[in-house]
Amino acid sequence: MLAVDFGGTKVESALVRDDGTLVDGSRFRRPTGRDRSASELADAVAAVVTASLQRVPAGTPLRGIGIGAAGPIDRERGRVSPVNLPVWRDFPLRETVATAAREAGYDAPSVLRLDGLCITLAENWVGAGRGIDNMMGMIVSTGVGGGVISGGAVVAGFSGNAGHIGQLEVPGFTEPDAPCTLEEIAAGPHTVAWARERGFKGETGEDLAKAYAQSDRIAVAAVTRSGTAIGRAIASVSTLLDLEVVVIGGGFSLVTPDLFDIIRAAIDRYSRFDYARRVEVRPTGLDADGPLIGAAALVYRSI
């Protein structure tokens, strides 16, 4: 299977086996980002796809192509409009990938889904949510995203954009009438920005993590605020969907091991019903290969 992961800072591709492992030497990466033109982004996608397909062992058929992308997406038409890449609006990502594959000699079926859903599928396949039929995967990093499996089935929604937990409004953490989505509160850059507004001198999530470990008052307050917002959002989603497990990954989820205790406390505080309070929160069981494994899972599970 060919897996492609397209995000706000990079596009990656790799070949993935049926056991969820990557084929050695098949992983390639190119930068994306706001400073790139639409044609440069398209060229980057084609370059990594071509490079990975050159590593397909001779005589081995390509089962399919799975593509995970930052959203919003248009599942039916295979198009994307990533929030963090304004030069791409209604861009035909699925066809761009399929064309590059055909030019490399592979006419395989391709499927495009939201990157948060792909991460959830990876956790469910080989990660911390393995075998769980009612779960949500979350990424807390530059942004906040997620995906849902309910009753063993993928929840994609009408357009393919279900799972955007980062766009849930979480009141009580900002000034009245100020933006209050979970992403605007708890994503790494927003957490650092909140701390800096209160006198924190660091500039990155890594700086915040070091300051938290040293019990810096502002850093502790910033992480506690973000963790509490995450927990409150999980309490709402678990109440709605009756989840068993929530798996959280992403760079900012590593800011401190205490983050999971903060999240747990908030779930217990804000869940009104015992069934919602019973949801288990786990750290990711994946490494940096997770997004690619999740994209391959789209093919593996015939989604």
Structural domain contains residue 199: yes
63 and 139 part of one domain:
no
259 and 169 part of one domain:
yes
pLDDT for 303 equals 76
Average pLDDT, the chain: 95
Residue 280 in tokens: 């288990």
Please give the Cα distance from 64 to 86 (Å, whole number). 29
221 and 144 part of one domain:
yes
Q: What is the DSSP string of 177-193?
A: TS--BHHHHHSHHHHHH
pLDDT for 29 equals 97
Structural domain contains residue 178: yes
Task: Assign 241 a pLDDT band (cuts: 50, 70, 90).
Answer: very high
- The number of distinct structural domains making up the chain is 2
173 and 274 part of one domain:
yes
Q: What is the pLDDT of residues 227-239, one digit of tens each?
A: 999 999 999 999 9
Name the residue range of residue 168's domain.
131-283
**Residue whose structure tokens are 């889904």:** 113
9 and 153 part of one domain:
no
139 and 46 part of one domain:
no
**Whole-prediction pTM value?**
0.91
141 and 255 part of one domain:
yes
Q: What is the pLDDT of residues 83-139, one digit of tens each?
A: 878 888 999 999 999 999 999 999 999 999 999 999 999 999 999 999 999 999 999
Structural domain contains residue 69: yes
Asked whether 255 and 208 are in contact (CB, 8 A), the reply is yes
Total residues found in the chain within this entry: 303
